[in-house]
Structure 1
């Protein structure tokens, strides 16, 4: 089968379109014919080697964390899916590889595709929606009327986070450039801050929850605009010792992450803010709950561009440029 592989880490490395063996289907797996695959900054971070510590992949590696497609074979112990089912998924770490014609995925990481979405729209959803679900529903549990600040509202995570936070009854603030304001208002954002002209720290105060997706400076400001006993959940780091423990990382990784995050953890403690790092995990059951919200119109995908499969490198460069509004997808079939 054709697949885009990463042969060595590096910022300027390109993925190589190559012929690789079709995946082996284990007893709990479904074999999926890939119709579309979503791209994420995580793909870029793995490509550069930035995540080698917490995701020590062996190269060559087929990248890709989001998929929509059709089940063409099932393992002997699969019970929830049959051949011909339309599905979408964020495969588990160490089993990624959606930039390919086929992928084998454990059925526990798979959900039926929302009936009202195209394959391209469905492929844009899993990683970002699971990130947001695990941040808001699982970890933060915002109450009705609480104030939530979502950074970079027009990004892949931001567009979904605004919609889910509004559904949960929160008042939502976000940052974006002015040309994205109409889109973000339509998704439910209440407070819009033009990051080119305003500093959110001058506008926001006493927020219950911040979803941080930006750099360290933005994270430090986020801690300062959060009320005492409020929460800051970061999906862009720095990872904490608690996270290292959760993924059962080796002892030296725990020490490194402890050192990397010590400054932020001290600042958070001083301000009496609960800081945590979230690295989303694959979870088919949660994706099935998200499907219900999509089919009922609560969450709508925001797809910026769809690239053909042979332009996967161009699609990844576009994601890295930071210009995309919502998600970028490749059409594989």
Structure 2
């Protein structure tokens, strides 16, 4: 079996495609034959050591979190999934390992893949979908009829948030690059503004302001809010975390794998109301250079990088 792993924290040059011996699934775990895995920005940050206080210093460490595939074996205590089930989900941050032929995951982090959903489309949604869902519903308290502003509405989390909000009968405005405004409108965002927009014309119009990527000045976010509205950021910077514990509208979401939320995301993907564009699909044998290219030119990427067997 092969997987992408690294023997020290660092840049893209530390990634290697190497043979490994898969662990047997333990209690509450499953072994999945990976049919597709998806890259996320966090893959690179974790490999660089930005979360080493969580991931530790034991090497080699594997890469990749989001995947879809077929269950090959189950450990003790697994009751919801069986050998042969088609599934989607993710791995714990400390374990990783989705960029591989097979991966061990916790049953609670994995759900059945909708029958009509391709493995590639299934792998593209877990992290960004769960983050958007928890940001809007758990932290933002989204309700039908709410007005939502999504900063960076065409990124992975932002695009997911737009689709989730619209499916729940909210209205959505948002920001993106000027050259992508038509794409945002086609997704259902209106009005669409550039990243350096003046908040005055949109003042006090929104129940939720979601900062899905990149910086949005807190002053600008506050100006957009209706009285009693909420600002939700997916950026757990020290400054944001400090402000979020003080009285005020700012809340920070650190997405956590909740089985019911993964099922909600999977169901929406199966129904076609939650999808991520796929920019490129490569076999595992070509994944290291593709990941390197994505990392070095990520701002220009339009959609997900998907890694398949081979």
How far apart, CA to CA, are the structure 2 residues paired with 1:134 and 1:80?
A: 23
Which residue is equivalent to 1:201? 199
How much has 1:90 moved relative to structure 2? Answer: 1.6
In 1, are the aligned partners of 2:35 and 2:69 still within 8 Å (CA)? yes
How much has 1:36 moved relative to structure 2? Answer: 0.8
How far apart, CA to CA, are the structure 2 residues paired with 1:152 and 1:55?
A: 28
Which residue is equivalent to 1:317? 292
2:68 matches 1:32: no
Which residue is equivalent to 1:285? 260
In 1, are the aligned partners of 2:36 and 2:119 still within 8 Å (CA)? yes
**How many aligned residue pairs are there?**
307
CA offset digits 1:145-194 (Å, max 9, x no partner): 32211122221112111100111222211222244333322322122113
How much has 1:55 moved relative to structure 2? Answer: 4.5
Shift in CA distance, 301/115, structure 1 to aligned 2, threshold 3 Å? farther
How much has 1:125 moved relative to structure 2? Answer: 0.7
Which residue is equivalent to 2:231? 232
**TM-score for the superposition, normalised by structure 1:** 0.84
2:273 matches 1:298: yes
How much has 1:21 moved relative to structure 2? Answer: 1.4
How much has 1:212 moved relative to structure 2? Answer: 1.3
Which residue is equivalent to 2:171? 171
CA offset digits 1:278-333 (Å, max 9, x no partner): 11112232211222222333223322221221232333334432222232211135
SS at match of 1:116: coil
Shift in CA distance, 116/219, structure 1 to aligned 2, threshold 3 Å? farther
- Using the TM superposition, name which of 163-172 and 33-42 deviates more: 163-172
2:251 matches 1:276: yes
In 2, are the aligned partners of 1:33 and 1:102 still within 8 Å (CA)? yes
How far apart, CA to CA, are the structure 1 residues paired with 2:147 and 2:294?
A: 29
Q: Is there any run of 5+ residues in structure 2 with no aligned partner, and where? A: none
In 1, are the aligned partners of 2:126 and 2:262 still within 8 Å (CA)? yes
Q: Is there any run of 5+ residues in structure 1 with no aligned partner, and where? A: 239-256
CA offset digits 1:96-149 (Å, max 9, x no partner): 210111111111111111222211111101111111111112221222232211
In 2, are the aligned partners of 1:315 and 1:329 still within 8 Å (CA)? no
How far apart, CA to CA, are the structure 2 residues paired with 1:314 and 1:208?
A: 43
SS at match of 1:199: coil
Which residue is equivalent to 1:124? 124
Q: What is the Cα-based RMSD across aligned positions, in Å?
A: 2.3
Which residue is equivalent to 1:86? 86
SS at match of 1:58: coil
CA offset digits 1:235-280 (Å, max 9, x no partner): 1222xxxxxxxxxxxxxxxxxx5x7744x459x75xxx42122111
In 1, are the aligned partners of 2:152 and 2:214 still within 8 Å (CA)? no
2:62 matches 1:62: yes
How far apart, CA to CA, are the structure 2 residues paired with 1:23 and 1:125?
A: 26
